[in-house]
Chains A and B, each alone.
Chain A
């Protein structure tokens, strides 16, 4: 039985589409109801919160997973990044109201001590520490965009897809931190002990990308 961990929420549909393209059975997955563990043919699917997906792989509960590059970075999980599916594309950005954005154009002393709201404390800490900027972090779990508006923070570090939520909250992108996409990952153990199965799956990915004539999804 090969165990695949998938993120719940809005990215799950894209994950299921990826599996379909690879001819991995998804019938029961689509009819799962409230089940969080679904078995079909030779696969067991675990459905977990996106932030938890890399953790299931790190501890060897799942052989492989589809995980966003944002949560891979944030959790720090030790795993193997095999293929970038190119799906679920968005960006992690630093964003804030215009007056704060202008301060980032000047000397770094202008931005020292800012308060940054984020659900990615590790990524945000690395970003600012690498630039020698000392800030204060507020760790939130959602609706990050409203934090500056309500005075909880000066700016935010969050993912952005179209930018419309930022705009609705009078925020603009100050800096791009990293692109985000859905990646096929495996545990370090499964890479070695289940390589044949993994190679078969990502081999199909390569074929499916070629069929689609897409550049993304360079497969191992």
Chain B
């Protein structure tokens, strides 16, 4: 018996196929809009990653030494690698840079999760100084999900700057526990802290409203503007909501002004994506202009990451029909040519070189396919559950 490390997973069979198809759809959608595939090393130097991650996240890094005795961690985040790549490989004239990637990320799991290795798809738009990046990335992401048959994903929008602006006016001894409670989604602790700090009534009322500002984007924006005025973060969100609405994606949108993401480098609009039965999000992302500044780059940066396996489990493909194609004594050249014709007609074929047609039919049944093809007779048969075949 061969074991594999606890917390890792082999993706094969139908699941592997689904993951690969999802990866392909994401890559096709994003690369059509100029996103270039990006392959980052599996190791990150601890010295360059450490101060970019908050303490809670650092505890989840899986540290190793490279063969050159450099202290590293297994790649825990793709954004740092993307920003580092931009800063070192692209001059300011070549920006913005659009990247997309798919690959494993490694973080120590938080129970009840057990996997430390996760397949992730993501995209990053780096170094753009105008408007539109948030809408572009969100719209492409939603389009990809629709192509995958996930028709009702919900993008929940928040704004890291909104929370910083609201809490930044307070003493750090007050703002830090409040921010921590929002980050950990411990709203009862947030309210308990608010009561303990004895803030001015108006301030307390405003801060108490934040965890309730959630739901329909237009109405929440209107309520927030009444309470907080036309602040810059709320203007950002208005523009995004309006633009996505014009693209027909308004139904997929919710607002949650208490939304805070784990990584502290987020500085602008942030989002999480929900769908299906999973209790947690499929992934998320947001704007992280501050991280670019740390690398001496001016401009906006935006990215997201999705759990590819979770997305694959929700995907519904209406596409090729898998079939076993029996070569029936044909030469390889003829068999491949005829298989090409069936592939062009919408089949996905697995060639069977077995001598007996029954063996090919049995293979199709074992695979769980609905079809088997007799290439010699140029005929496709639907496999009935009764054991009969139908032309």
Q: Shortest CB–CB separation between residue B112 and chain A, in angstroms? A: 5
Mark the stretch among B63-71, B231-239, B273-281, B293-301 that contacts chain A: B273-281
A218 and B112 within 8 A (CB)? no
Q: B189 at interface (Cβ–Cβ under 8 A)?
A: yes
Q: Shortest CB–CB separation between residue B69 and chain A, in angstroms? A: 28
How many residues belonging to A are interface residues under a CB distance threshold of 8 Å? Answer: 32
Q: A193 at interface (Cβ–Cβ under 8 A)?
A: yes
A190 and B279 within 8 A (CB)? yes
B280 and A75 within 8 A (CB)? no
A59 and B189 within 8 A (CB)? no
Q: B24 at interface (Cβ–Cβ under 8 A)?
A: no
Report the Cα distance A183→B184, complex, angstroms.
15
When each residue 168-209 of chain A gets 1 if its CB lies under 8 Å from chain B and 0 otherwise, what string results? Answer: 000000000000000100011111110110010000000000
Q: B186 at interface (Cβ–Cβ under 8 A)?
A: yes
Q: B154 at interface (Cβ–Cβ under 8 A)?
A: yes
B278 and A189 within 8 A (CB)? yes
Report the Cα distance A84→B278, complex, angstroms.
25
Query: Cβ of A218: which chain B residues have Cβ within 8 Å of it?
Result: 188, 191-192, 195
Q: B110 at interface (Cβ–Cβ under 8 A)?
A: yes
Q: A76 at interface (Cβ–Cβ under 8 A)?
A: yes
Report the Cα distance A57→B272, complex, angstroms.
18
Query: Cβ of A76: which chain B residues have Cβ within 8 Å of it?
Result: 110-112
Query: Cβ of A75: which chain B residues have Cβ within 8 Å of it?
Result: 111-112
B279 and A187 within 8 A (CB)? yes
Q: A77 at interface (Cβ–Cβ under 8 A)?
A: yes
Mark the stretch among B38-46, B128-136, B210-218, B318-326 that contacts chain A: B210-218
Q: Tell me the nearest residue of chain A to B256, going by C-beta.
A: A192
Q: Which of A158-175 contact B (CB under 8 A)?
A: none
Q: Tell me the nearest residue of chain A to B184, going by C-beta.
A: A81
Q: Shortest CB–CB separation between residue A91 and chain B, in angstroms? A: 17
Contact partner, A84, options B192, B274, B276, Cβ 8 Å? B192
Q: A122 at interface (Cβ–Cβ under 8 A)?
A: yes
Contact partner, B281, options A59, A189, A199, Cβ 8 Å? A189
Contact partner, B274, options A54, A55, A61, A189, Cβ 8 Å? A189
Contact partner, A81, options B111, B186, B254, B279, Cβ 8 Å? B186
Q: B367 at interface (Cβ–Cβ under 8 A)?
A: no
Q: A119 at interface (Cβ–Cβ under 8 A)?
A: no
Query: Cβ of B191: which chain A residues have Cβ within 8 Å of it?
Result: 218-220
Query: Cβ of B53: which chain A residues have Cβ within 8 Å of it?
Result: none
Report the Cα distance A122→B110, complex, angstroms.
11
Report the Cα distance A169→B247, complex, angstroms.
68
Q: Tell me the nearest residue of chain B to A199, going by C-beta.
A: B212
Q: Shortest CB–CB separation between residue B157 and chain A, in angstroms? A: 10
A188 and B185 within 8 A (CB)? yes
Query: Cβ of B256: which chain A residues have Cβ within 8 Å of it?
Result: 191-192
Report the Cα distance A148→B189, complex, angstroms.
34
Report the Cα distance A75→B111, complex, angstroms.
6
Contact partner, B111, options A59, A61, A122, Cβ 8 Å? A122
Q: Shortest CB–CB separation between residue B314 and chain A, in angstroms? A: 12
Report the Cα distance A58→B280, complex, angstroms.
7
Q: Tell me the nearest residue of chain B to A215, going by C-beta.
A: B195
When each residue 32-43 of chain A gets 1 if its CB lies under 8 Å from chain B and 0 otherwise, what string results? Answer: 000000000000
What are 5 pairs between A and B in contact, CB < 8 Å?
A: A60-B279, A79-B185, A79-B279, A183-B188, A188-B185
Closest 8 pairs (CB-CB, A-B): A60-B279, A187-B279, A76-B111, A80-B185, A218-B191, A81-B186, A84-B188, A189-B274
Apart from A79-B185, A183-B188, A192-B156, what 11 extra A-B contacts exist at CB < 8 Å? A59-B112, A60-B277, A60-B280, A78-B280, A80-B186, A81-B185, A84-B188, A187-B280, A188-B185, A188-B281, A220-B211
